[in-house]
Structure 1
Amino acid sequence: MPKDWYEWHDLYNTEPKLQQRLEIVREYIAYSLNASPDGAIRIVSVCAGDGRDLLGTLQNHPRAKDVSARLVEINSNLVERGRATIESLGLAKQIEFINGDATLATNYVGAVPADIAIACGVLGHVAEKIELNRLINNLSFLSKKGAFFIWTRGHSDSISYSDNVRKILSASGFEEVNFKLTATGNMAVGIHRYLGENLPQPKEQQLFVFSGIPSKAR
């Protein structure tokens, strides 16, 4: 069992479900970049890990130079690895990695509202339904009208947890663009578009409570 999230990310080297999930997430990020209007594209990533989903997409994407992004991650080792990747891609002037608590609204001020919001590996670690609702409601702070929201959710014990996520998003002003399961069948990836209005102030300082431990992918 990984002792921390830095070790957990090494599972991408061996776990097919994570590899397949990452491939779909990158596909949806690329779609969002392609579908964005000409000009600047603002991106935020919640609990960003080492940023491999976004950074791996930008590596060969023709609109990489249009992107400004803020990635928020509390694990300093993952942030260090992500910053090294940003330097290697020549994107240091466009992308910032914040080593901080992704649940706090202050870590996004100045980078929102975004054109693309990413929350991968997050929703399965928001333990209670009330917390999931709170996080999704607070996406109106992170997202401008028309923004894309890319998310993941694991399935286990034959329970399709993503069904509940899709219902809450639909009820909260998000239109589904696409949805896929990995070939392993136990990881879901969705992309929605926010149809509501941006709220310049979050409903509360803490956007959600992250209760996960690095024992399993969710």
Structure 2
Amino acid sequence: MATEIIYMVKDWFEWHDLYKNEPKLQQRLQIVQEYISYSLNLPEPGLIRVVSVCAGDGRDLLGTLSNHPRAKDVYARLVELNPHLVERGQQTIESLGLTKQIEFINGDATLSSNYLGAVPADIVIVCGVFGNLADEAELNRLLANLSFLSKQGAFVIWTRGHSNGIPHSETVRKFFREYGFEEVNFKLTATGDMGVGIHRYLGESLAAPKEQQFFAFTGVPSKAR
């Protein structure tokens, strides 16, 4: 039975350092990057728009672009509240020579205003978010609002940890179907306690509202899952 691991970290910058030695995070990242690469391979030649919600230091997208043949086609906006993570991400963007294509916003990823001009996107990354919502009602609110971020046919890549033997990712998969998304693939990490999914949006693209809160992020780093 999988059990929730409580990480004794103080902030999200410190939490991201757990990628150095935490197997389930390393395995999660590998699957996420696999799905991002898959999503980049499918569009016709031309611009590919990407948005990342609660992007951290952007290692999932930026790590994929570091050796992907379509990196120069990507125009992305990453939104993250922690300034230290944004700074680290910006340094990576500079090292990749993608400063004219990748925009890193130091702001609140829950607010629609931080996505204006960047959506609807071809790829939407919402990793490390669903486990930091208060309840299923809040999950439903976010899933409903993904229609503002996603163009018709867009890929949405997401993660959800399991805790105390509860397969929370199965709830996420069920709700995605109810909001007009088709599952493309789903995998569990080898540790068995982290689900990674990729869905495709089948609904119509909707104009993003200028001022709206898409969801409330209530998690704390020491209990992240």
Query: Quick check: TM above 0.5?
Result: yes
- What 5-or-longer segments of structure 1 have no aligned partner? none
From 173, 176, 183, the equivalent of 1:176 is: 183
From 43, 46, 62, the equivalent of 1:39 is: 46
**CA RMSD after TM alignment:** 1.0
Match of 1:162 in 2: 169
Pairing of 1:1-218 with structure 2 (within 5 A): 1-202=8-209, 205-218=212-225
Counterpart Cα distance in 2 of 1:205 and 1:130: 17
Counterpart code for 1:139: L
Match of 2:3 in 1: none
Counterpart Cα distance in 1 of 2:162 and 2:208: 33
Change (3 A) 1:59 1:29: same
Counterpart code for 1:104: L
TM-score by length of 1: 0.98
Counterpart Cα distance in 2 of 1:36 and 1:64: 13
Counterpart Cα distance in 1 of 2:209 and 2:19: 33
Which stretch of structure 1 is more off in the superposition, 203-212 or 44-53? 203-212
Counterpart Cα distance in 2 of 1:182 and 1:46: 21
Counterpart Cα distance in 2 of 1:169 and 1:38: 28
- What 5-or-longer segments of structure 2 have no aligned partner? 1-7
Please say if residues 43 and 114 of structure 1, whose CA atoms lie closer than 8 Å, have aligned partners that are also in contact: yes
Counterpart Cα distance in 2 of 1:197 and 1:214: 35
How many angstroms does 1:217 deviate by? Answer: 3.6
Q: Work out the number of aligned pairs and report it.
A: 218
